[in-house]
Structure 1
């Protein structure tokens, strides 16, 4: 064969190679396009399922796959929407997606993770066939694509075992936060009448119960409303009588709803707080919550929310047409809520609150041997039942704009303690030897200063007493005596004594109490601040609960007993904060404040009961020799039995009355019931 023939063979082979490569390239491109179409179709499937776009999702299936089960595409869409809404599906994740080619179709497998209002459901593996027809792909629907294992006649059943919120009792077993059947006003739409009659009846219901007609009409327009169904409009804080119910406008009806109730209302509001519907923020913090749950929003309801709320049990099952369970998708055991018994005496709490007269003030009372709080209340307050049932914007605005701050828990707020603090200065002085029971000190006039270095600052007193001993200094609340004694002690001795108390400590209570502080810096830097602190002013900041805790040393031979509010807790003490002898000297010296006609608390004198007391005034003023705002304090002790002690504080007492004026009724109750 010649060269010409060889060239022809080479050219032929090259052409054949080009053809073969072209064919191979065609099939590669075709295969890649096919693969991309498959991936895109599977992606549409998973995306629509993730977004719960069931119309889009079901459009991906062949019509024949629905007719096989004697159903339609629309009916299946409705089925998905009903089931997924019924179990409260919030989010869907499609995981572990796999695509396997078969002879003439693809098998797609995946798992679902469903975030529902009842908990998380993780399914078994799904499988769905995907076939090609006329350059497009469609899936083959089966009932098992709702949940693996479901057949055509199966449905989903949700069974719940609700956990009623635990109740809160006082020390005597009286409920102070309870689950209560309130009356609920509703409307039976079919009984409203038509046209003008209907409008007139809606207006009458609006006028009687303070619900706008727009609000009523909005509730009547809900999708589920039918003529013979009860449509709730408003929950009533106070029940209607039989006669009032009989006189209701046409269409109105009375039902019942169980919600949280606080029998003592404003008296316990700051302590207990209240419950309310969860917010989006609450759910973000705790994904186990659902929008239908109620949780503690403030106070002890919030502090003990998890215990009080418990956890409802739930079972989500696939059931057959006879209602028989076929498979369980989710099972959560019920967690029983806990009832909580407090140390509070609800009757004393109510009496103390009423005695405050709605003016800015607070009262805390404890059993000093155990630290059990018998009373923790304050005024002004708010109605927690309104917060539960749905407070109107107008009502809330009244609270929010009240300059007396009705939402503030004054027993947890810090104040300068005033002259009640002289008891602690006295005990520290007795322990250090700088104060004795026998020394008599001559003091002239109503004001005093150390020397000219104090400039325009003077320590003043109310009662001019030429010769003062410790007992007179306590009974007459002599600022000059304690200022002089603190300077004699010096800062090191005085601060060392103070540091044995609970300054800077966080109290182990379910309600937050900001720690007490002696001064803004670690040292006073001046004799004036040292003297000022000795009689309870200066930069001292102590909450009433912390004050009462400190003063417990006088009822426990010098040992401090920490406060507690839950019954039957272990008593926690701090020993030897002051000496036993010093503590009892101060306590007994305070008896004359009540027993002596010249004492500042003589109005509480009871010849059959040994009560000791110390008044106090903390004055807040912009400069010396001006009239400032006074906060009034009263500290009182059951001397013989040592079964109770208390502290009452009244803000701006010149206008709102003194603490002593607010004490009589609760002290009488304590003397009668805590002997």
Structure 2
């Protein structure tokens, strides 16, 4: 029994010895690791990404830990916790409220981030505290700021901390005293210009008139004068009074009320002028007759082409609180502007530039003691477009009274020469301050001047027939020489169509592909679509960019062949053959597809950013076989050159042109007589070597009883005469 007890004791005694050895080894490893980490921390750069979290039972025992914890709260904006880490003596000299306000204003004012400290020396030999030397680096609105500094900490036995910081303003920046302040000066860049291909201004610096009031010169009772001013400027009296009551306003201040268009020197001196100029003169005379009102020049964003290019250029406006929230840390201030639509919005990042910024310490007299960091202003970049301002203006003036869209491009390079939507608005009105009356009139106008038509998808009518012809040739479902037979002016496949018939304006004999294109025979192309079949037609159109985003700088509506999925019925398929049914095409897309007939079957990618060295890009390589593309181009040439061609009114003897007209019906049913019509004309120079090659794609709404597509052909004839500089 005694032996078993001794064996038991020996066995457990050995276990205990082993246990103590293991604990000893673990303790030694912990001590070595702690020592290594301590040495590392004292000489290592520390990135302060998050504050140290302290449990109630945890004490921060080293001065280094206290300093790191203090600075970590800058990025989390926990200034109250920073205050907890300063000693009692410091708290007697600065209240919690003042401390928080001081640190918050400085650190958030300079947009401090990525705060890092590298501890270079620690002297903790004194029982009363420690001194830490460190290098500090932080990113700011003006770039990086780095500096050496020193912190003094005192010992404490209260709370979670063994050390607390002896705080003073110099802990923020070494040269900062209690009476100094940190100043952030922002200089806004000049917005870049938008230019046409020849360097002409589409959007950029301009001069306008700023109408304002010098309060000290107002009548004692200015009520009547303010009412008159409000009426002339189309603003409210309340808005004028609000501006006059601003804190900065003094009796001799010039208080801007509204920016208006400036009377040019010519407008001021010319004896005989337009009604518009006479109205501007009368307005200015009436404004200057009001006591205290002055008119001075001011620099503004100007859009020289006005309504002719506003859908293209877009416009800018003053940023809103919503903009500032949506674009944090992007350099926008309350006084900044931002692009709202068109090129102004598309190239906002490039046009806006980068703010200049200087962060400095200034004394109580406002004099600079030290510049901490500075960032040079970077003006916005100019954006040069492929647009031809003269052609843009000419197209607008020709179609200004219509509901239309115009696309002009070089069919061999893809350079877009003009993009016009009418009716239009004037981007300058947004700069001068859009009155509620004008804004309401734009929104309530049934012609929809704010609606950008060249971005939409529309019924193409017969302008789509060359595309159907190309698809039929590519699939081998049509023989260009085959005569479909003269079906007269109406036709249906069989009795299953009921009362529905396809109608056309001209009989075609022989009814082959060439004559069908020249005469724009709906029946021929309805039969062609049926020969192709819906499945193959849809597949081919998908390969031509339907139902996908068009590769273009401006977002455009996707072209479609059906409202929902497929061309579901035989009648819908037949109608699709001549650009009706549910076919909807974007004008830029259709123009690009026409370029395939000019380039041996390769569809050229349209683009807007100007290139000195033009490098055409193919969007759809071999979209059509060369012989098929050239066959269709030849027929389109006869659309213009033949006396029977629907586009003959645009014929020129000096330049070979190819084109296709289209009249699309917009109505509720076949029997609907109240519907409207869209008129189309696509035309291009078919000789690649011609000077100034061009492709025009124009659409005009409501051409019914105005000549249908013939109305558009006559307009385009005038445009081409101006463009080529020769009257025919």
**Fold match, TM over 0.5?**
yes
For the structure 1 residues 118 and 181, does the alpha-carbon distance in structure 2 shift closer, same or farther, using more than 3 Å as the test? farther
Match status 1:647 vs 2:647: no
**Structure 1 residue 631, shift from structure 2 partner:** 1.7
**Structure 1 residue 648, shift from structure 2 partner:** 0.8
Map 1:397-408 onto structure 2 (within 5 A). 397-408=440-451
SS in 2 for 1:653: coil
Match for residue 215 of structure 1?
239
Distance 2:654 2:519 in 1: 24
Question: If the length of structure 2 is used for normalisation, what is the TM-score?
Answer: 0.73
Match for residue 622 of structure 1?
668
Map 1:83-482 onto structure 2 (within 5 A). 143-144=169-170, 149-151=175-177, 154-193=180-219, 195-196=220-221, 198-239=222-263, 244=284, 247-283=288-324, 284-291=326-333, 292-319=335-362, 323-328=367-372, 330-465=373-508, 467-482=510-525
For the structure 1 residues 426 and 352, does the alpha-carbon distance in structure 2 shift closer, same or farther, using more than 3 Å as the test? same
Where does structure 2 lack aligned partners over 5 or more consecutive residues? 1-55, 61-68, 118-123, 157-164, 269-280
Distance 1:391 1:372 in 2: 33
SS in 2 for 1:590: helix
Map 1:71-90 onto structure 2 (within 5 A). none
SS in 2 for 1:164: coil
Distance 1:115 1:650 in 2: 56
SS in 2 for 1:535: coil
SS in 1 for 2:533: helix
Distance 2:104 2:254 in 1: 23
SS in 2 for 1:591: helix
For the structure 1 residues 530 and 379, does the alpha-carbon distance in structure 2 shift closer, same or farther, using more than 3 Å as the test? same
Alpha carbons 2:391, 2:723 under 8 Å: kept = no
For the structure 1 residues 186 and 115, does the alpha-carbon distance in structure 2 shift closer, same or farther, using more than 3 Å as the test? farther
Alpha carbons 2:410, 2:416 under 8 Å: kept = yes
Distance 1:548 1:620 in 2: 22
> Deviation digits for residues 426-484 of structure 1, max 9, x if unmatched?
22333445444543332233211111122232111112345423232112211101111
Match for residue 586 of structure 2?
543
Distance 1:52 1:227 in 2: 42
> Deviation digits for residues 551-606 of structure 1, max 9, x if unmatched?
11111111110110111164221222112222222222223333344433333233
Match for residue 39 of structure 2?
none
Task: Between 257-266 and 634-643, report the one with greater CA deviation.
Answer: 634-643
SS in 1 for 2:558: coil
CA RMSD of aligned residues (A): 4.6
**Structure 1 residue 520, shift from structure 2 partner:** 4.3
Distance 1:643 1:327 in 2: 58
Query: Which one of the candidate residues 561, 569, 572 is aligned to 2:617?
Result: 572
For the structure 1 residues 617 and 120, does the alpha-carbon distance in structure 2 shift closer, same or farther, using more than 3 Å as the test? farther
SS in 2 for 1:442: coil
Task: Between 592-601 and 112-121, report the one with greater CA deviation.
Answer: 112-121
Task: Between 464-473 and 303-312, report the one with greater CA deviation.
Answer: 464-473
> Deviation digits for residues 363-385 of structure 1, max 9, x if unmatched?
11110001111111111221111
Match for residue 603 of structure 1?
649
Distance 2:227 2:570 in 1: 72
Match for residue 52 of structure 2?
none
For the structure 1 residues 146 and 259, does the alpha-carbon distance in structure 2 shift closer, same or farther, using more than 3 Å as the test? farther
Alpha carbons 2:680, 2:700 under 8 Å: kept = yes
**Structure 1 residue 493, shift from structure 2 partner:** 4.8
> Deviation digits for residues 109-133 of structure 1, max 9, x if unmatched?
9x9999998789999989799999x
Question: If the length of structure 1 is used for normalisation, what is the TM-score?
Answer: 0.78
SS in 2 for 1:546: helix
Alpha carbons 2:518, 2:635 under 8 Å: kept = yes
Distance 1:600 1:89 in 2: 68
Aligned length: 623
Distance 2:199 2:510 in 1: 53
Alpha carbons 1:108, 1:130 under 8 Å: kept = no
Distance 2:503 2:142 in 1: 67
For the structure 1 residues 230 and 63, does the alpha-carbon distance in structure 2 shift closer, same or farther, using more than 3 Å as the test? farther
SS in 2 for 1:430: helix
**Structure 1 residue 186, shift from structure 2 partner:** 1.3
Distance 1:52 1:225 in 2: 36
Alpha carbons 2:149, 2:171 under 8 Å: kept = no
Alpha carbons 1:632, 1:659 under 8 Å: kept = yes
